[in-house]
Structure 1
């Protein structure tokens, strides 16, 4: 948008043209005081309204739908009127440039006076247009392409472990270990229609899994893993809308079954900006299977949504196929009855996908490795309450596993729970303090072998400091009591500092 500026006439000329209007307000203007007419709304019987309407009729500088012709409120603020005037001046400027159409000297004087009286408002509009042009130019120079956005993230981490002798590992001690690592991600996000998104993520990482030191998955961090810092395709999926209420996602690589359903405790779920442990990020029952897969979300109402998903991790392997691949199917109802309360109920069925990577070794294989056809039915519930700048939440998960290929089809029950608390803006804008207390997956009943008698306790605290828009520093500590659900095992202490850089 451009603002057409016409050199102002002398006051005497203006007064001769508009003898029926008083121009006393001009004579008292100064750089210090705002004239009273600059504070009054424009009425349909004001000269400025009638003058612009006359210009519009003569030169067609306003379209038929202009609300100047049908004012609903009977009057306009000076800013509203200035916008209409600006549009008329812009159209006249374009017409005189593209054709031989000229503006009569009498009408030119009218336009000049209109510009004079509304010069503060027109200047403000001009300033806003310039700011929008600058932002548009910045976006054009920074965007990766017209349809694709490039995002990047680097995670640097240092972690230390302290422990004592492990009774379940022939009294081998856990050495005091300090490790460091990194994870680099580049993500290309492409939209073809505005309501879809193709995501392609490349990743290189080398952050050790602490279970190799401690002997238990309970100590694993939520951002660990290593591929020797080689570049790999970590994520490839396509999400698109189906009508006004439904959306679908097709995943070809990366992601897990839990990615197809929402979490009601999102402060903890991110690997780079959530809880520091794998257990703290999400309900373990959701970690039973990975892509390829498909998911569907349907909004039953503004407050209720239904989400379903299916994954078969080895479906693309011709020697395994969909029929024999470990699979997982999930369905979840999420309800948000108010802005401060959210809860969900989840059902999941899996085949040979019982190991959630968060519990004891036995909870991932309760049949001592003798079964090759484990079917599991899992049930979960999660709730979250927003209390000003504090969020209190909790979750429970129950898994009933059956060995279909063993005599009598023995079953085992596995239980997990957690209580979560997050405190936003603690110590500064963007900061987050988090607490996680819970029990990693534990066998509470087993028809094939013994149940796990002593419950492990997972105690976690972290503080996420927002250094600026692109840097997060998160120190945290994890304390494991009765690791591997054994009272004979001494506590394990894990400390870490995670630094996240995004661009």
Structure 2
């Protein structure tokens, strides 16, 4: 045999492997580019991907033994591959590889799947198998199995696919360059940026404000913007830093009652301020810990049982309608929350927060000032049903500002003894029920007792009560949209030696969130407060709003 023949024979496996794997995948030229750029996959991703054909030789069964679940003995005839037909353009080449050289097999179900996308690993395995087989032929002096016609065929196929191979190489080079550029200029390898912008138009209607004065309120147009920087260092933890700016004013000065406040109001005079600032991390599978450094609220850290209305940008339009006031105790400052069995149906949560934790002076600080402590036992059966019992104890002084219910109830309920140091015990029950895929029912009830610790009324006590129920119809009219109604009684002083609320206020809220796109929603809504400040002498107050929410 001539020297030329032997040299050509030694080169033929390279052409053979490329022809086999590239030729049979020519109809999927785009897919291999992705496989080249991302050559590896996670275990979950790999389980969802179609298994690759097993490439074997008659003398190298170890390639098959590496994946015993998909192993297939070497086929001896191309007819054993059920999806290969004599009319296929590469039939003869595949027939030679199977029947003459024995260096390619199919899938365990007896198919070859010649149109499936090719990966670099498959190319390398096929090339290696054919190299081993040809080297075996050379070593055993069976070169008569290779003819000059074979070499001519390989040369023709090499020339035929030269353009495709060059194009593929160019695409890979371009993608690698783009990937390197993205990695060099990316924002962060650990942090994701997301945000929300709310545009609000609102007006208030009534003959008189609380107190008997004319209600003077102009239609407003204002906005709130939030940017969240969510970083993760282990894949299971989260460090959040939120920047916020807005000019949506509190309307209680004009209406005379905090019961009319909007749920998405934020007024920083459009200055950028730090809002959420916390680090959350798991301790094994049984414990979840969250450390807050600024502006902590209990509702940020524990489940509130009001999933349809909790969000200020997508849920209720009112402050009271978002969730039970028990989660608004001693808002602000720093805190710590520990949740046991966070992924299980039965969860226990404990939280502590200090509204003035940053202050080193008298009456403030982490432990020497106002505080709120909360414990909650909740049972959650997936998204279908959840119920919880919550207890909170608070101490608030003049440095923190006396506000027992986060400005959701009457003035008497928020400050039952005026602006003096007050301690209180709060008890609440909350529940949520999902009926089918579209109907959600939720509600809460709460009872509080408070005691004055200073001033001329030191030792006085007061009892407060509140409740609410909500109905949400999801995917109403359009996928992602929601029709909602909330009705209830804001916090009211029911028993006190000093002052009691004489009558009962009722909160009625209706809204419809129209989901225009995945990122844009418009929510018209109406809030009605009957007998504001729990006084029948006060006129009913109506609040109308149009909220537009952009998320990204």
Distance 1:189 1:143, change over 3 A: farther
Equivalence for 2:69 = 67
Q: Does 1:424 align with 2:457?
A: no
Distance 1:411 1:184, change over 3 A: same
Q: Could you tell me which of 239, 242, 255 is aligned with 2:296?
A: 255
Q: Does 1:146 align with 2:179?
A: no
SS at match of 1:323: coil
Distance 1:301 1:193, change over 3 A: closer
SS at match of 1:279: coil
What is the alpha-carbon distance in structure 2 between the residues aligned to residue 355 and residue 303 of structure 1? 29
What is the alpha-carbon distance in structure 2 between the residues aligned to residue 359 and residue 318 of structure 1? 31
Q: Could you tell me which of 175, 187, 195 is aligned with 2:236?
A: 195
CA contact (8 A) 1:56 1:62 kept: no
Equivalence for 1:43 = none
Equivalence for 1:312 = 354
What is the alpha-carbon distance in structure 1 between the residues aligned to residue 246 and residue 466 of structure 2? 30
Q: Could you tell me which of 380, 384, 395 is aligned with 1:336?
A: 380
What is the alpha-carbon distance in structure 1 between the residues aligned to residue 514 and residue 369 of structure 2? 42
Pairwise CA distance, 1:64: 2.6
Equivalence for 2:57 = 54
What is the alpha-carbon distance in structure 1 between the residues aligned to residue 524 and residue 59 of structure 2? 65
1:440-484 deviation line (CA, Å, top 9, x unaligned): 1100111x3121121101000011111111101111000000001
Counting strand residues as a fraction of each chain, which structure ranks higher?
1
Equivalence for 1:354 = 404
Distance 1:86 1:186, change over 3 A: closer
What is the alpha-carbon distance in structure 2 between the residues aligned to residue 488 and residue 326 of structure 1? 36
What is the alpha-carbon distance in structure 2 between the residues aligned to residue 79 and residue 414 of structure 1? 75
Q: Does 1:412 align with 2:462?
A: yes
Cα RMSD for the two superposed structures = 3.7
Q: Could you tell me which of 217, 220, 223 is aligned with 2:261?
A: 220
Distance 1:338 1:224, change over 3 A: closer
Q: Could you tell me which of 307, 318, 324 is aligned with 2:368?
A: 324
Runs of 4+ in 1 over 4 A off after TM superposition: 60-63, 77-88, 93-99, 101-107, 136-143
Q: Does 1:91 align with 2:115?
A: no
What is the alpha-carbon distance in structure 1 between the residues aligned to residue 345 and residue 112 of structure 2? 39
CA contact (8 A) 1:260 1:308 kept: no
Pairwise CA distance, 1:405: 2.9
Pairwise CA distance, 1:79: 8.3
SS at match of 2:347: strand
Equivalence for 1:27 = none
Distance 1:219 1:102, change over 3 A: farther
Q: Does 1:179 align with 2:223?
A: no
Equivalence for 2:529 = 480
1:201-231 deviation line (CA, Å, top 9, x unaligned): 1111100111121111100001102111011
Distance 1:88 1:474, change over 3 A: closer
CA contact (8 A) 2:192 2:230 kept: yes
CA contact (8 A) 2:526 2:545 kept: yes
Pairwise CA distance, 1:61: 4.6
Gaps of 5+ in 2: 1-15, 22-51, 74-106, 138-142, 155-167, 397-402
Pairwise CA distance, 1:93: 6.0
Gaps of 5+ in 1: 10-47, 113-125
Q: Could you tell me which of 312, 318, 325 is aligned with 1:284?
A: 325
Equivalence for 1:401 = 450
TM-score, normalised relative to structure 2: 0.71
SS at match of 1:427: coil
What is the alpha-carbon distance in structure 2 between the residues aligned to residue 489 and residue 276 of structure 1? 22
CA contact (8 A) 1:335 1:344 kept: yes
Q: Count how many residue pairs are aligned between Structure 1 and Structure 2.
A: 431
SS at match of 1:213: helix
SS at match of 1:286: helix
Equivalence for 1:155 = 198
Q: Could you tell me which of 414, 421, 440 is aligned with 1:391?
A: 440
1:89-121 deviation line (CA, Å, top 9, x unaligned): 33336759999x9796979x9xx9xxxxxxxxx
Structure index of larger Rg: 2
Pairwise CA distance, 1:76: 3.6
Q: Could you tell me which of 279, 283, 306 is aligned with 1:238?
A: 279
Q: Does 1:6 align with 2:8?
A: no
Equivalence for 2:140 = none
TM-score, normalised relative to structure 1: 0.77
What is the alpha-carbon distance in structure 2 between the residues aligned to residue 301 and residue 231 of structure 1? 35
Distance 1:154 1:7, change over 3 A: same
CA contact (8 A) 1:252 1:292 kept: yes
Pairwise CA distance, 1:81: 11
- More off after superposition, 246-255 vs 315-324: 315-324
What is the alpha-carbon distance in structure 2 between the residues aligned to residue 387 and residue 54 of structure 1? 59
Pairwise CA distance, 1:177: 2.4
CA contact (8 A) 2:17 2:123 kept: no
Q: Could you tell me which of 375, 389, 397 is aligned with 1:345?
A: 389
What is the alpha-carbon distance in structure 1 between the residues aligned to residue 355 and residue 112 of structure 2? 60
Equivalence for 1:35 = none
SS at match of 1:478: strand
SS at match of 2:219: strand
SS at match of 2:60: helix
Q: Does 1:164 align with 2:164?
A: no
Equivalence for 1:271 = 312
Distance 1:83 1:203, change over 3 A: same
- More off after superposition, 62-71 vs 403-412: 62-71
What is the alpha-carbon distance in structure 2 between the residues aligned to residue 500 and residue 103 of structure 1? 69
SS at match of 2:189: coil
Once the two structures are superposed, the pairs formed by residues 76-155 of structure 1 within 5 Å of their partners are 76=109, 78=111, 89-92=122-125, 144-155=187-198
